[in-house]
A and B are shown apart, each in its own frame.
Chain A
């Protein structure tokens, strides 16, 4: 596996009135060429901050990458100047966000916005860039793309705006596309179309995708490998089929049992199995976490879990888990 993006022991912290928030607390992963990696977790687990760290979009007034390395095509990103990062962003690494309306300029036509990016990074004449913008809108299957070039973001529906964002993000043939909750704000039928489009375009262009989401359904449908985060740490990583067939971290298991399922049948009386709750709350990230971050909510926790942080253990076939009690978890149903 040739890694195009390598994140090693990333620590990203924010200074707040309540103290230092350890939003990302020692996370490592790799993304291979042309691969789709999912990063999944609940609010505050550090998944978005990880993405922002890769692109160096952490606001310098409050946050900083305290430790760790981010290598893109072998080049260390954490030491690059802002100017050098600007040449990278939107070109070799690009990003799409949850709410396209906040990322699009309301006073420029979508054609202009896509072409602008192409001119800046590819150094081609304006006319060629406009043509590229048309090709991209056509690629993301916006009907009547020629006419849409001259429309403003407010004239488009939510699904179309997200298509425009994807078109813009892919306009300079990036090696990596980071998508942070790209379909969360969209309706179900539109979400399905956008996910299908992303999978199809990835196959066509070979761009690696880092898909950040809280939605296990989206992860199952689109990714090849998954990183599960909890309280700023990676607790489990596995190929997507393995993760869903045999999740080994108690948190991952908890998540999977907590979601209502469309694909699980109700019994004859029509009653459905009670959802399994994960008791308690996520830890406060301003206080140092001793031991396993999930221990206070975990049914398997022992004294060791509460005092010593479990290392990531390789259990084979690219499946790693940070848990002291893997064998007991595996044996339980």
Chain B
């Protein structure tokens, strides 16, 4: 891994306006992403994990420039692409590709799969005609599909095969970064394993950087090198995978881990759940630390002061007032 990040995001903010009233004026904003920074190197997977409404998918869309950020910057291989207009963005699109949760909805049902996968090659003027077909056949083989299947239509493939098509299409233009938003959530476990293994192999082969978005902690732990945990638009903890699972510091990370089910009946009696209640609405996030309404360790100050994301150990950032630099990394006490 070279050290220069291939994707670097700083202070990213995305607010969606809420319109209301007789004149449909803006009456508020959903703070989907509220000041998020991270970077990814070549050959590295950064996992973004969190529950519905935490802003993880919005980050994916903003990074792909499918929607414009409200503030902050996005740099692709050192070049600032934040304010590029669609025309100027064109040249950069090849470098950042995406894989969707449901590839079927992104495929034209009237085109043969070979044409779908080869479309980016034509769009970017990389290959046409026989050269394109040759390249597509190669891609099909690489993702584990038979080249003869190029003549088939999307509906003739199974869910796992469609995800392979989606991966082949994203790969076709030799991207640097792939944004994968819940790419295996719709798949059965036996097929999910095939797709995860394929993604890991391709990453090693092409030194791809993945921004991997998922709600599934076990999948995340399998595929990621580093993981960022999000809650209501903010990153609350970011560190390498091993540290996150062994020595997580943020109470929300602890809550997520305690809530995850494990395929082991012997463990079920041991667990304690640490949070109750629902995730608050991102249109009206609680003041201070967004998590204080559900946090068993919250103190008075958590209700008023938003904790900054600080580096408490090498590469380990946490946003929690009760986890200062040099603090005791042991279990937190519940305030009396």
Residues in B with CB closer than 8 Å to A193 are 273, 276
B256 touches A189 (CB 8 A): yes
Q: Is B278 an interface residue (CB 8 A)?
A: yes
Q: Which of B50-99 contact A (CB under 8 A)?
A: 51-52
Residues in A with CB closer than 8 Å to B52 are 158, 187
Q: Is A246 an interface residue (CB 8 A)?
A: no
CB distance from B326 to the nearest CB of A (A): 26
A217 touches B260 (CB 8 A): yes
CB distance from B295 to the nearest CB of A (A): 12
A244 touches B263 (CB 8 A): yes
Q: CB-defined interface of B259-276 with A at 8 Å, one 1/0 digit per residue?
A: 111111111100001011
A241 touches B266 (CB 8 A): yes
CB distance from B179 to the nearest CB of A (A): 20
25 A-B pairs whose Cβ atoms sit less than 8 Å apart in the complex: A42-B189, A187-B51, A188-B51, A190-B278, A192-B260, A193-B273, A214-B188, A217-B218, A217-B261, A217-B263, A220-B268, A221-B265, A222-B268, A240-B265, A244-B263, A254-B190, A259-B193, A259-B218, A260-B196, A261-B218, A263-B267, A272-B222, A277-B190, A277-B197, A281-B158
Other A-B contacts than A192-B273, A241-B265, 9 sampled, CB-CB below 8 A, are A42-B189, A192-B258, A214-B188, A220-B262, A221-B262, A244-B264, A260-B223, A263-B263, A270-B241
Q: Is B202 an interface residue (CB 8 A)?
A: no
CB distance from A45 to the nearest CB of B (A): 9
Nearest B residue (CB) for A278: B190
Most chain A CB atoms below 10 A, which of B200, B217, B219, B261: B261
Query: A260 is contacted by which of B222, B273, B276 (Cβ under 8 Å)?
Result: B222
CA A220 to CA B267, docked complex, whole Å: 9
B242 touches A270 (CB 8 A): yes
Query: A266 is contacted by which of B189, B242, B258, B265 (Cβ under 8 Å)?
Result: B242
Q: CB-defined interface of A233-258 with B at 8 Å, one 1/0 digit per residue?
A: 00000001100100000000011101
Interface majority SS (helix, strand, loop, mixed), chain A: helix
Q: Is B221 an interface residue (CB 8 A)?
A: yes
Nearest B residue (CB) for A251: B190
CA A114 to CA B124, docked complex, whole Å: 58
A258 touches B189 (CB 8 A): yes
Residues in A with CB closer than 8 Å to B278 are 157, 159-160, 190
Nearest A residue (CB) for B196: A275
Mark A residues whose CB is within 8 Å of B: 42-43, 157-160, 187-193, 195-196, 214-222, 240-241, 244, 254-256, 258-263, 266, 270, 272, 274-278, 281
B268 touches A221 (CB 8 A): yes
B261 touches A220 (CB 8 A): yes
Mark B residues whose CB is within 8 Å of A: 51-52, 158-160, 188-190, 192-194, 196-197, 200, 215, 217-219, 221-223, 240-242, 245, 255-268, 273, 275-276, 278-279
CA A222 to CA B158, docked complex, whole Å: 31
CA A217 to CA B219, docked complex, whole Å: 13
CB distance from A109 to the nearest CB of B (A): 20
Query: B264 is contacted by which of A190, A220, A222, A276 (Cβ under 8 Å)?
Result: A220
A260 touches B265 (CB 8 A): no
Residues in A with CB closer than 8 Å to B279 are 157, 187, 189
Most chain B CB atoms below 10 A, which of A270, A272, A275: A275
Nearest A residue (CB) for B263: A216
B262 touches A217 (CB 8 A): yes
CA A186 to CA B256, docked complex, whole Å: 13
Residues in A with CB closer than 8 Å to B194 are 277
Given contacts A188-B215, A275-B196, A277-B193, contact A220 B265 (CB under 8 A): yes
Query: B219 is contacted by which of A255, A260, A277 (Cβ under 8 Å)?
Result: A260
CB distance from B43 to the nearest CB of A (A): 14
A262 touches B242 (CB 8 A): no
B189 touches A255 (CB 8 A): yes
What are the 10 A-B residue pairs with the smallest beta carbon separation, nearest first? A217-B261, A260-B222, A278-B190, A192-B259, A187-B51, A42-B188, A258-B193, A275-B193, A216-B263, A260-B218
Nearest B residue (CB) for A266: B242
Query: B263 is contacted by which of A214, A261, A266, A278 (Cβ under 8 Å)?
Result: A261
Residues in B with CB closer than 8 Å to A259 are 189, 192-193, 218, 263
Residues in B with CB closer than 8 Å to A215 are 261
CA A196 to CA B259, docked complex, whole Å: 10
Nearest B residue (CB) for A257: B193
Most chain A CB atoms below 10 A, which of B190, B240, B256, B260: B190
CB distance from A83 to the nearest CB of B (A): 38
Residues in A with CB closer than 8 Å to B221 are 260, 262, 272
CA A220 to CA B265, docked complex, whole Å: 4
A261 touches B261 (CB 8 A): no
A189 touches B242 (CB 8 A): no
B190 touches A255 (CB 8 A): yes
Residues in A with CB closer than 8 Å to B257 are 262
Query: A188 is contacted by which of B259, B263, B268 (Cβ under 8 Å)?
Result: B259
CB distance from B321 to the nearest CB of A (A): 21
Most chain A CB atoms below 10 A, which of B217, B241, B259: B259
CA A187 to CA B265, docked complex, whole Å: 21
Residues in A with CB closer than 8 Å to B190 are 42, 254-255, 258, 277-278
B260 touches A187 (CB 8 A): no
A188 touches B260 (CB 8 A): yes
CA A188 to CA B275, docked complex, whole Å: 11
Residues in A with CB closer than 8 Å to B219 are 260
Nearest A residue (CB) for B279: A187
Most chain A CB atoms below 10 A, which of B159, B265, B279: B265
CB distance from B63 to the nearest CB of A (A): 23
Residues in B with CB closer than 8 Å to A270 are 240-242
Residues in A with CB closer than 8 Å to B158 are 281
Given contacts A187-B52, A277-B193, contact A262 B188 (CB under 8 A): no
CB distance from B264 to the nearest CB of A (A): 6
B261 touches A43 (CB 8 A): no
CA A276 to CA B196, docked complex, whole Å: 10
CB distance from B188 to the nearest CB of A (A): 4
B261 touches A196 (CB 8 A): no
A244 touches B217 (CB 8 A): no
